[in-house]
A and B are shown apart, each in its own frame.
Chain A
């Protein structure tokens, strides 16, 4: 399911398997951090929000990206779509390297890759009717003639479970779940092949979350969508994804097929993450838990060696000195940890 070229080396010339819609090669996105001193000329620190992420997403599949707040998962989604220009690395979307394209050249491609934002309150323009919000992409990319717009908007609203009669209403007239449906309709409007879902359900109530998850699943099956599902909710990720990547401080620490990752997690961080999820069922409530101490370190001043070494229950001396590389532990299951294997990351 998860294809990662042997050796894990980014091969920029290799024509990636035609089935792979999106692939990231050593993606890096850095942001300027706080100033080191009080003077305008004193230097600035660098926040390495995404630090060398490589992954592939195959057509019709969902890759779940999990991690705690500040680990860079949202930045991966945004740099992938070039909403933030990456600092380094390559992003291939249907064999085109997006990082090498100008904004103008990207324009026609945007029709095929869309995003659903986290906050349904902030991501809709309060001064536009939802009908206009949904139709904007259609008109910009000239996908329909002005006469057909209303028809297509109505069709989209039905697809996501909204009453088309509401098209002239404004976002404040809708509940959170309904607004998220508008956000999904907007993303679907241009017939994209690939959608980034950036925490699309985390702002919603439990019963509404279930509605949106079911909607995403049925849409994906019907339209053969490829999804990058970004979430901190492991339960939702497990439910929606075919494979899962776990991020910690800008790096992927483990990536595998969903069933494999949840059945046999390898990295100590994945272990702790899975153990932290509250369980509502009584059958397995007594499973042994790894409780982590402390907080996630700051990405401005990450620990030397493995980034997880400050909180890792199985830490070894080498972990504090060198950085483990993400290599295959089992076929299709990659882990970056010295406890599992001793590959060192190239500087």
Chain B
């Protein structure tokens, strides 16, 4: 028999282990510009549970980075979140005051940025930057924070962390900087880790190291990880779930294996078949998606992909499809999704 207290704590543990860390409903992000309002995200919904790696994949300008920034509430002005809800660990972060949001950044949600050289402060030693959140959020003493920061640097695979602690970002190589960024992001054990193209600026052999590190972090901390990338191969290797984005909306989502073995949305099909692969038959031409991604200011009224789509008909250019389940957990936003 368990004591009531133990029962309660296991119940809480069970709840926090299964409940979503992140729940986004109908998110809209708009950037006013001289030429009109750019709707970077329009009705975007997703959820993430602990221990899950979710891939957000799409081409530049599809809104994947905007999504991550809005989860941190870091959308640069004059852009703003114009609609929808973002729940992180049961709190609607859009209703929080700035100070409360600041307390959330670090322990609840943290971000690994694409370009570590611009994301790190060039005037501050790397170690000190990692100490900062530890002292602020976990109220560690300067000495304890330093010990913990060195531990973190070691855990992300930086050799001689004591020496590296007092070095500046420019003294680090690209891969090392990205590791330091990861150490900084995981310093307060966030339950939700956002990784925005963490390997795009890196060489393949170093990319491989960083991807393994991110997978290890998930196993060790049980955090939910959202991995933003344009590389379909990275998603295939690392992610449990994938959300394919196009022009500010999710066009297909589901378990990675399912989406990649039976893609249903014509854009997903196009993206997968235009992806270069080592196993591809060289004698066949690549099937490219014709045309260009739409400009977000002048979105077509119907499906945004319709002008480039081979299956488009009058319905597609008239009305916008919503995400509909085609199989358990597998959703597609396409009028012709059921036929495929």
Contact = CB atoms under 8 A, between A and B. Distances in A.
B124 to A, nearest CB: 23
Interface in B261-277: 261, 270-272, 274-277
Interface residues of B, number: 46
B173 interface: yes
Nearest to B231: A278
Which of B211, B271, B278 lies at the interface centre, i.e. has the most chain A CB atoms within 10 A of its CB?
A: B278
Interface in A206-223: 206-211, 213-214, 217-218
B206 A277 contact: no
B289 interface: yes
Interface in B115-172: 159
A279 B204 contact: no
B204 A277 contact: yes
A206 B277 contact: no
Interface stretch (B24-32, B190-198, B232-240): B232-240
Interface stretch (A44-52, A164-172, A288-296, A338-346): A288-296
B276 to A, nearest CB: 4
A274 B205 contact: no
B205 A276 contact: yes
A59 B259 CA distance: 43
A235 B278 contact: yes
Contacts of A330: none
A218 B284 CA distance: 12
B282 A207 contact: no
B42 interface: no
A177 B292 contact: yes
A280 interface: yes
Given A238-B282, A296-B203, A275 B208 contact: yes
Nearest to B236: A280
A295 B232 contact: no
Contacts of A272: 205
26 contacts: A68-B204, A178-B292, A205-B60, A206-B59, A206-B232, A207-B274, A208-B59, A210-B275, A211-B288, A213-B286, A233-B276, A234-B204, A236-B276, A238-B276, A238-B280, A272-B205, A273-B204, A273-B205, A276-B205, A278-B233, A278-B237, A279-B277, A279-B279, A281-B236, A281-B279, A289-B208
